[in-house]
Amino acid sequence: MSLPPYTQRSHVRSDPAAEAPAATRGTRTSSSAASDTGGLSARDTSARRGLAWLAACLATAIVLVTGAVHAPDPAEAAKPRGVPSVDASSYIIGSLDTGNVLAARNRNDQMRPASTLKLLTALGLADYYKDKKTRIKISKATAGVEPTKIGVKAGYSYTADQLFHAMLIMSANDASQALAQGAGGTKKAMAIVNAKAKQIGMKNTVAKTPNGLDAPGQHVTAKDMMVLAKHFTQNKYLMSVVKKTSYTFPGGVKYKTKGGKQVVSKRSGSQKIYSHTKIAGFIKGGQGLKNGWTSKALGTFVAVAKRGGKSYVVVILHSSDQPRRPAIDMLDWAFTHRSASVGKVDFKKLEQKPKPKPKPKPTPTPSKAPTLSPGTTDDNAGPNHLTGGVSQ
C-alpha cells in the first residue's frame, strides 16, 4: 500500500487480518454464520453485518489517510539486538566508510527534514560561493524570515563565510535565506541545491526552502541523509564550520558612497553564538552535523562520530523525543556492533558523475587569399572577387 508521506506512524504491528474488511477475511459456512448471530432475526443480523462493513470501510479509510499501518521495512524486521530505542518514525545507523547499514527503521520513507536540510543547502551553495568573502546585502524579506535567527539587518552586508557559520552553528534561518538571496533568489538557489542532491544520489529528496522550514512537497529520507552526510564530511570547509562549538559573528556593515567610492558608514554589533547540535566537542570523536525541529517535522537529527579511523552516522527523523541523546547512544552502539548489518548504501553507485563536456569542433583556419595579377580572376574566390576591374 502506498501511503502519504509525512504522516506520524504507529510502530505497533497489528494482525493484517484484523485490519482487513470482513469480506476479505475468509468465507464461512451458513451454519457457522448463523451460530454467530446469537438467535437474532434476519433483519438484525443484516443490520449488524452492514454496520460491520461500514466500520471496516472507515477503518481502511483511516489507515489510508493517517498512514497508521504500513508495510514493514525489511531492515526493521531484521533489527539487531541491543539497538538503543528512539520514538521516531525513521532512522538509520550506518558506516560512512563502507556504506554498511547496521540498523534502520523505514529508511526509505519520505519525511520532513526541518533544519537538517541546511546541510544540503550548505553543500550545494558552498560550490556557488567559491570566494567565501563574497558580501551579500540583506533584503527586507530576508531579514523578516521567521526564527531561529541570527538577526541580519536589511541594508547591511555580510560575507558568505559569516552566513555559513550562522546557518550551521546556531541554525539561523535568516542566514540560510541570505545565502539563497545572494545566489539569485530562492528559486535559483534551490535549483542549485536540488541539482547537488541529484548529483550525489539523494534519489528521494526534494528541497523547497533553504532553511528546512516546512513547505509542500519538501521531503528527505533517512537513507538520503546518510548519503548527504558522506559527502558533507568530505567538504573540508563545511566540516571546519560544524566542528566549532562557538563562533563570534562579526555582524554586518552598511556602505555609503563618498568621493565616488563605497565606504563603511555603519556596523552592526558582533555576537557570540554557540552550537545547537552539541556533538563536536561534546562526545568522543564527535564531528558534529545538524539538529532540527518544526511542529510538523518534529525532532530531526544527523550526527557523525569518528573513532579509531572509523566514521559512523546516525540519522533520526520525525521523533517525538529530543533526538540528541538517542543519536549519541546509537553512535556508541555502532562502534561496538560493527559486524551488524541489515543492508548497504553504495555511495559510488549512487553518485552521478558529471557528463564530460563535448569537445569543441575545430575552427577551420581561413586560407590566405592569393595575390592576383591585374586582369586575372580567381576562380575559387566567388563572384566579384576580382582584381583589375575585370568582371565576369
Q: What does the alpha-carbon distance between residue 324 and residue 369 come to, in Å, rounded to a whole number? A: 77
Per-residue pLDDT at 365:
56
pTM listed for this prediction: 0.73
Q: What does the alpha-carbon distance between residue 2 and residue 64 come to, in Å, rounded to a whole number? A: 8
Nearest by Cα to 342 from 106, 96, 90, 78:
78
Residues 107 and 314: beta-carbon distance below 8 Å: no
Q: Give the single-character DSSP code of 303.
A: E
Q: Which H or E element spans position 243?
A: none
Q: What does the alpha-carbon distance between residue 312 and residue 309 come to, in Å, rounded to a whole number? A: 10
**Which grid cell is 251?**
555582524
Nearest by Cα to 271 from 140, 135, 175, 151:
151
Which residues neighbour 158 within 8 Å (Cβ) at sequence distance 6 or greater? 135, 136, 138, 152, 175, 178, 251, 252
pLDDT in tens, 47-106: 555 555 555 455 444 434 333 344 556 556 667 889 999 999 999 999 999 999 999 999
Per-residue pLDDT at 301:
98
**Which grid cell is 201?**
544520489
Q: What does the alpha-carbon distance between residue 19 and residue 32 come to, in Å, rounded to a whole number? A: 21
Ranges under pLDDT 50 in the chain? 1-42, 44-45, 56, 59-70, 368-392
Per-residue pLDDT at 263:
64
Per the DSSP assignment, residues forming a β-bridge with 263 are: 256
Which residues neighbour 4 within 8 Å (Cβ) at sequence distance 6 or greater? 64, 65, 67
Length reported for the chain:
392
Per-residue pLDDT at 360:
65
Nearest by Cα to 370 from 351, 386, 355:
386
